[in-house]
A and B are shown apart, each in its own frame.
Chain A
């Protein structure tokens, strides 16, 4: 096993895996950087190959920026605690993302804190089972 990694990084890596395998490459994201976005959900696209959360962030001057936050597939997310009703337009959330390298407001989800305090990851592999446990 590799040296232990802290949880957010592990989740980020898993998000990277999912997308690299199922869709386009996540090389476009800066996996060494995390950006915390606190804002309001505009749209929750519960779709394959990836789910997207559109989040509107307001800065100190009242300027609004819309971020696209990419997650795993609904299949993977449903197996790791997500529901199609986990988010809806108008919800206040705090999302930690790996941002795009090119600076556009778009990121790969690491963790998200929902309005009720629930923390969810990006959606990845089903919970593992050790051999002989079933």
Chain B
């Protein structure tokens, strides 16, 4: 390739051959880096039939506080439109904006295009800070460990103010876009995710177990899929550029 020739969108993102028991150690060598597009659309939020996204329950197991917060957020004046989504919304959107997984020594970073914040997942064996030392943030504190070919990510320390996922990307229909419940998570969120590559390494599966005793009486388990899309370049997105509300 000569000087000045355009580079492919993401040379590191080609799907690697499926690996067996001799899986390499880095996230990149395992195929866990690159640009991915969330599967599903509003019309077909399940995405690919063979690998369907799990819908949120029609009647989420809200605690009274969770139900009240969900109801409060149905008033559109009660949330900050450009607020970050937190780790759940970050991984829970139909395929409008891509995500990119980038690896640095000891950490995997997940950037969602439509967010100025990243999820930083420490892979160096550290634990979460003690409760009284953790700095609550929008995306929380995440640590990851490998369980065979599955990356298990444990997240705590969210600030409870993230923009809530709504019916879009779950089980909503267009006509009920704004009548489906919001799915808030509180600062008591404990999110456990199991990431694995499926469909010949073309899909990244994120099985989320949402444990939040303030807002939900039981765990909510959801699967969401992301399709590897090396043809897409991530772009910059600053939500506050033109915050018209008319």
Could you list which residues of chain A lie within 8 angstroms of chain B, going by C-beta atoms? 1-2, 5, 10, 13-14, 16-18, 20-27, 31, 45, 47-50, 52, 68, 70, 73-76, 78-79, 104, 106, 124-126, 128-129, 131-132, 134
Complex-state Cα separation, A134 to B8, whole angstroms:
14
Q: Does B232 contact A (CB under 8 A)?
A: yes
Given known contacts A23-B239, A27-B177, A129-B227, A16 and B95 CB-to-CB distance under 8 angstroms:
no
Tell me, rounded to whole Å, the shortest Cβ–Cβ distance linking A19 to chain B.
10
Complex-state Cα separation, A129 to B231, whole angstroms:
10
Complex-state Cα separation, A26 to B175, whole angstroms:
11
Tell me, rounded to whole Å, the shortest Cβ–Cβ distance linking B98 to chain A.
7
Question: Does B96 lie within 8 Å of A48, measured CB to CB?
Answer: no
B202 contacts across to A, CB distance below 8 A: 131-132, 134
A1 contacts across to B, CB distance below 8 A: 43-44
Tell me, rounded to whole Å, the shortest Cβ–Cβ distance linking A73 to chain B.
7
Question: Does B82 lie within 8 Å of A23, measured CB to CB?
Answer: yes
**Apart from A13-B43, A48-B240, A106-B246, what 5 extra A-B contacts exist at CB < 8 Å?**
A45-B242, A47-B242, A48-B241, A76-B97, A131-B199
Among residues 99 to 148 in chain B, which have CB atoms less than 8 Å away from a CB atom of chain A?
A: 113-114
Complex-state Cα separation, A20 to B200, whole angstroms:
33
Complex-state Cα separation, A94 to B227, whole angstroms:
36
Tell me, rounded to whole Å, the shortest Cβ–Cβ distance linking A78 to chain B.
7
Cβ 8 A contact of B174, one of A13, A21, A79, A134: A13
Among residues 55 to 95 in chain B, which have CB atoms less than 8 Å away from a CB atom of chain A?
A: 76, 81-82, 93-95
Q: Does B223 contact A (CB under 8 A)?
A: no
Q: Does B50 contact A (CB under 8 A)?
A: yes
Given known contacts A106-B246, A126-B229, A16 and B174 CB-to-CB distance under 8 angstroms:
yes
Q: Does B26 contact A (CB under 8 A)?
A: no
Question: Does A21 lie within 8 Å of B93, measured CB to CB?
Answer: yes
A132 contacts across to B, CB distance below 8 A: 199-200, 202
Tell me, rounded to whole Å, the shortest Cβ–Cβ distance linking A51 to chain B.
8
Tell me, rounded to whole Å, the shortest Cβ–Cβ distance linking B54 to chain A.
18
Complex-state Cα separation, A10 to B44, whole angstroms:
12
What is the chain A residue whose CB lies nearest that of B94?
A: A17
